[in-house]
Structure 1
């Protein structure tokens, strides 16, 4: 899945394209599904829940943003919930880039791959901070009472504290799997696709289907592994 700084870069673009006024709730909702810390297996299992991970009838996998929509459609006028909704779409698009454009589907579920991706994320953080004016998301008033927040075991305080290093680090090294151009392309595609989806919601429709940006089940015998 995309890093928290990459998600916030997409959010920055969406705020401009959609004219979002309540940026505090939108930015926070935008990273809320990822507010999980802990050992690899725990994070993997818990994020499957927070991301509405689904195996489709055709055998492909997706983060089921339509299930989130069905459960919270009456709240999508609240930018907290809209931010959460579009986060799921972004991660579906990101997996297309990661597994198909970069060609890493065969390594899905490998902890070593996750470590390599995080190394790339850290190298990208200074560039994205400057280009997209990334700051630490503020905690919205009354967040503890929100149904979606109470639904999962989010680690808000510890996660936000952990993110502070993303906003100050300047690591050395070379990108292993990504390029700057690929990340900028991903961010632009996300902003474009999500803008179309949000405008469709305003008409009572969807621009996207669950098959869009789904991924193949590379190794069905290890279906409980990987994202």
Structure 2
């Protein structure tokens, strides 16, 4: 869903507003769900008799509640999931994105490439934010198989200037708006969890299954 640079920018904004134990593991966690080889890293599931889809946030919170408190890798991973849920709402519900039109997916990925360099500069991102670490013995690998070195190499390869061009759909302004709103969204979720309140309801934030 959202690009790795968008996730890293939100993480960068969060670290300026809140204290974390390990910003490096937080950053890695914030992009880790997209670094899969196999498995269901986003915990996608069908609900409502197969008519709607969501990410099983409740399962993640229950399974990794202690890890989320102690290890920012797991907190970053969880925040990635809720950022992606919010991103779906942002581009589909608010901006009427239609991925079924032939060529639209490729055009969106081109927009990501165009906006990435803007995000890198605007939010002061750098390659050192993402470091490959060994996670083979981590409980998170029960969800999926990850290629951490490959993912880190790919993300670092996105830190390159690109020739200015007009966006097809996802503009720099949309990127900035989403990063700002998603940062607030994440902070509210962390506040609720720290106060012992219920986390984000995955059913409420579900979306209609595309046929």
1:117 aligns to what? 108
2:118 aligns to what? 127
Task: Kindly report which structure 2 residues correspond to 1:54-69, keeping only aligned pairs within 5 A, or say none.
Answer: 54-57=45-48, 59-69=51-61
Structure 1 consecutive aligned stretches of length 4 or more whose deviation exceeds 6 Å:
none
Measure, in 2, the Cα distance between the counterparts of 1:209 and 1:82.
17
TM-score between the two structures when normalised by the length of structure 1: 0.83
Q: What is the deviation of 1:206?
A: 2.4
Task: Kindly report which structure 2 residues correspond to 1:85-124, keeping only aligned pairs within 5 A, or say none.
Answer: 85-105=78-98, 107-108=99-100, 112-124=103-115
Measure, in 1, the Cα distance between the counterparts of 2:102 and 2:181.
27
Whether 2:152 is the aligned partner of 1:138: answer no
Flag structure 2 segments of 5+ consecutive residues without an equivalent. none
Choose from 73, 77, 100 the match for 1:84. Answer: 77
Flag structure 1 segments of 5+ consecutive residues without an equivalent. 38-45, 220-227
Measure, in 2, the Cα distance between the counterparts of 1:177 and 1:98.
9
Which structure has greater strand proportion? 2
2:13 aligns to what? 13
1:223 aligns to what? none
Choose from 150, 155, 162 the match for 2:147. Answer: 155
Q: What is the deviation of 1:150?
A: 5.5
Paired positions, count: 207
Describe the SS at the equivalent of 1:54. strand
Whether 2:195 is the aligned partner of 1:192: answer no
TM-score between the two structures when normalised by the length of structure 2: 0.89
CA contact (8 A) 1:196 1:207 kept: no
Which structure has greater helix proportion? 1
Q: What is the deviation of 1:204?
A: 1.7
1:41 aligns to what? none
Q: Report the aligned-residue RMSD.
A: 2.1
Q: What is the deviation of 1:158?
A: 1.8
Q: What is the deviation of 1:36?
A: 3.5
